Amino acid sequence: MPDSTPSRILDELAAILGPRGLLTEPADIAPHLSDWRALYRGAAFAVARPASTEEVAAVVRLCAAAGVPITPQGGNTSMVGGATPDESGRHLVLSLARVNRIRALDPLDMTMTAEAGVVLKAAQDAAAEAGCLFPLSLGAEGSATIGGVLSTNAGGNTTVRYGNARELMLGLEAVLPDGSIWNGLRRLRKDNTGYALRHLLVGAEGTLGIVTAAVLRLFPRARDTALAFCAVADEDAALALFRRFRDRDESAVRAFEYMSGTGVDFCTSHIEGVTLPLEARADHYVLVDLASPRPDAQLREMAESVLFEAMQAEEVTDAAIAANEAQAQKIWRIREEHPEAQKREGASVKNDVSVPVSKVPEMIRRCSAALRELIPGSRPVPFGHIGDGNIHMNLEQPEGMDPAAFLARSHDIMDCVNAVVRDLGGSFSAEHGIGRLKTDMMEDWRGGAELAAMRAIKAALDPQGLMNPGKVLP
Ligand code: FAD
Ligand code: 2HG
Ligand code: ZN
């Protein structure tokens, strides 16, 4: 650490943050040093927990003057090691957990101004209390924060209807790498005033500054809903069913999720309370979630009619429609528990990929065959957001194989999937981001003019390279 010793920095941090705002004991710091997947274990000399934008700015200014690298952290649910510091011990982890007020909610503007540390579920609840909807929804919503979902441009289950986090953001407040506060909390639907700085920070994974608050878009709440869980003949049938629902009423399709038989088997065998709502097991399933702000939308009737047609066409082989909200939530668990169930089954390698929606069936089939050939006995577990072309093309270890030996093949597995994805015009990183896990793929996929422009932006905004170093850019 140049010039200033850690103890000097610690004194100055303590003066800014007070006793509740600075963690230095190893036991207190430990939960901030590893990721949800346990892929990385880093080190940090302290965790700063500022309680306001001004405190964030003071910490960033101090670090900029002292040359201290910062790892921003929200709910620490990153799937790519994005919020974990490296092993050097030189980093300060900057947790936004205490910058967590909802500053304003306006049902006429249909906006909410929320600070970065507001947990996604709390933002959803605040919108619901005001009779509105904040639609971003993902399995980690009980921990992930507004700052985190914007910094990763998270997608989740409702992208098909409402877009990614980026589309749900109108304005932003951030602390830039020099410690200056940029207040761009504008509640405007139209605002063409030069470069869209807010969109640069969204998806930057903390490498261009610290998001401290955002203006989020709200929507009318659902007054009619219906949820169906279906066994489908194959991947093409899943897509054909998506098209049937979309053609009937695109605006009603809130989520359309695919699951393989293998993944659902893992959930029903490992997760308490998760059961199959159908009579027989199948190799392919789809969850269809319909919602409308119109109380008379008759979505249950619509679902029944579309499923009847799909059954006659032999696309759907069996289906259950939730009778009430409790049943709907129970069915959603089959989908949401996929990451946890895969963890309990053993070691797995994740491939968060996207292809044009029309190519999803081919992608799943080609990847599954190639992966089985690469590692005999391995179990492909494709699942996810088929309605927007983003499938988690994950691979579970063969039964009985040493997990470490399986994980040693991670790069071969990712390369195998990525070769197919590239051939189909897709992306190697759909919604989880690059973090630390995928930096070495950036040159290959985004090299040339695109990566050069990204590096120029990074150098202009963060010339010392102190904001989340080692992430995103190789
Ligand atoms: P963190 O994990 O703390 O950080 C994520 C990245 O953002 C890091 O690079 C960090 O440095 C940076 N960062 C965090 N806060 C700030 C800030 N205020 N300013 C600047 N940078 C910041 N993701 C999806 O897209 N869709 C899903 O469906 C989905 N499902 C998930 C299910 C489970 C069970 C889990 C564990 C994760 C899932 N994720 C999903 C991944 C993860 O939840 C998202 O990436 C989420 O957006 C991360 O939010 P967070 O607050 O936990 O951020
Ligand atoms: C989901 O959609 C998340 O559940 C996690 O994006 C995906 O575990 C995964 O691979
Ligand atoms: Zn996902």
Write out pLDDT tens, residues 384-412: 999 999 999 999 999 999 999 999 999 99
Mean pLDDT of 213-221: 98
Q: Which of 350, 392, 417 is the best mutation target for the ligand 2 pocket, counting ligand atoms within 8 Å of the beta carbon and taking the most?
A: 392
Q: What residues make up the domain containing 85?
A: 6-95
Domain at 207, CATH number: 3.30.465.10
pLDDT confidence tier of residue 7, bands split at 50, 70 and 90: confident
Note whether 234 and 165 are same-domain residues.
Answer: no
Residues around ligand 3, an ion, CB closer than 5 A: 384
In the chain, what is the greatest distance between 2 CA atoms, to the nearest angstrom? 74
Mean pLDDT of 113-122: 98
What's the DSSP call for residue 135?
Answer: -
C-alpha 233 – ligand 2 centre gap (Å): 23
Mean pLDDT of 121-128: 98
CA pair distance 229, 129, nearest whole angstrom:
29
The answer to whether 385 and 257 are in contact (CB under 8 A) is: yes
CB 171: neighbour CB atoms within 10 A? 18
C-alpha dist (Å) from residue 441 to 140, 217, 444, 470, 473:
26, 33, 6, 13, 10
* Structure token pair of residue 67: 């040359």
Note whether 274 and 187 are same-domain residues.
Answer: no
Classify residue 462: in a domain, yes or no.
Answer: no
Mean pLDDT of 332-336: 98
Classify residue 443: in a domain, yes or no.
Answer: no
Domain at 350, CATH number: 3.30.70.2740
Of 177, 166, 178, whose CA–CA distance to 203 is shortest?
166
CA pair distance 242, 221, nearest whole angstrom:
23
Q: What pLDDT digit, counting tens, does each position of 301-327 carry?
A: 999 999 999 999 999 999 999 999 999
**Ligand 1 pocket check for 74: Cβ under 6 Å:** yes
Mean pLDDT of 54-81: 98
Task: State residue 349's pLDDT score.
Answer: 98
**Ligand 1 pocket check for 144: Cβ under 6 Å:** yes
Note whether 132 and 150 are same-domain residues.
Answer: yes
**Ligand 1 pocket check for 116: Cβ under 6 Å:** yes
The number of folded domains in the chain is 4
Task: State residue 277's pLDDT score.
Answer: 97
The answer to whether 120 and 144 are in contact (CB under 8 A) is: yes
Task: State residue 19's pLDDT score.
Answer: 86
Q: What pLDDT digit, counting tens, does each position of 345-361 carry?
A: 999 999 999 999 999 99
CA pair distance 72, 69, nearest whole angstrom:
10
Q: What pLDDT digit, counting tens, does each position of 47-56 carry?
A: 999 999 999 9
- Nearest ligand for residue 259 CA: 2
pLDDT confidence tier of residue 21, bands split at 50, 70 and 90: very high
pLDDT of 265 strictly over 60? yes
Note whether 91 and 194 are same-domain residues.
Answer: no
Classify residue 350: in a domain, yes or no.
Answer: yes
CA pair distance 407, 348, nearest whole angstrom:
7
Note whether 304 and 399 are same-domain residues.
Answer: no
Classify residue 450: in a domain, yes or no.
Answer: no
Domain at 12, CATH number: 3.30.43.10
- Nearest ligand for residue 60 CA: 1
- Nearest ligand for residue 154 CA: 1
User: Pairing state of beta strands 132-133 and 181-184?
Assistant: unpaired
Which residues, at least 6 apart from 412, have a Cβ–Cβ distance to it below 8 Å? 374
Note whether 41 and 90 are same-domain residues.
Answer: yes
Of 95, 121, 141, which residue is a domain's last?
Answer: 95
User: Mean pLDDT across the chain, nearest whole number?
Assistant: 97
What's the DSSP call for residue 168?
Answer: G
Task: State residue 446's pLDDT score.
Answer: 96
Q: Report which ligand 2 atom has the smallest distance to the Cα of 336.
A: 4
**Ligand 2 pocket check for 339: Cβ under 6 Å:** yes
Note whether 386 and 419 are same-domain residues.
Answer: yes
Note whether 66 and 148 are same-domain residues.
Answer: no
Of 166, 195, 220, which residue is a domain's last?
Answer: 220
Q: What pLDDT digit, counting tens, does each position of 149-163 carry?
A: 999 999 999 999 999
Task: State residue 3's pLDDT score.
Answer: 46
Look at ligand 2, atom 5, and give the residue with the nearest C-alpha: 339
Task: State residue 59's pLDDT score.
Answer: 98
ipTM entry: 0.99
Note whether 116 and 205 are same-domain residues.
Answer: yes
Of 66, 95, 124, which residue is a domain's last?
Answer: 95
pLDDT of 229 strictly over 80? yes
Task: State residue 340's pLDDT score.
Answer: 97
Note whether 120 and 177 are same-domain residues.
Answer: yes
Note whether 74 and 108 are same-domain residues.
Answer: no
C-alpha 226 – ligand 1 centre gap (Å): 29
Give 41's strand partners. Answer: 34
Which residues, at least 6 apart from 209, have a Cβ–Cβ distance to it below 8 Å? 174, 175, 176, 177, 182, 201, 461, 462, 467
Domain at 291, CATH number: 3.30.70.2190
- Nearest ligand for residue 141 CA: 1
pLDDT of 337 strictly over 90? yes
Task: State residue 5's pLDDT score.
Answer: 57
Note whether 184 and 260 are same-domain residues.
Answer: no
**Ligand 1 pocket check for 75: Cβ under 6 Å:** yes
Task: State residue 468's pLDDT score.
Answer: 98
CA pair distance 65, 361, nearest whole angstrom:
52
The secondary structure of the chain in percent helix, strand, coil, rounded to multiples of 5, reads 40, 20, 40
Look at ligand 1, atom 25, and give the residue with the nearest C-alpha: 154
C-alpha dist (Å) from residue 88 to 69, 150, 152, 414, 470:
10, 27, 24, 27, 12
Mean pLDDT of 34-42: 95
Task: State residue 380's pLDDT score.
Answer: 98
The per-residue DSSP string of 432-472 comes to S--TTTTHHHHHHHHTTHHHHHHHHHHHHH-TT--BSTTSS
Q: Report which ligand 1 atom has the smallest distance to the Cα of 138.
A: 28
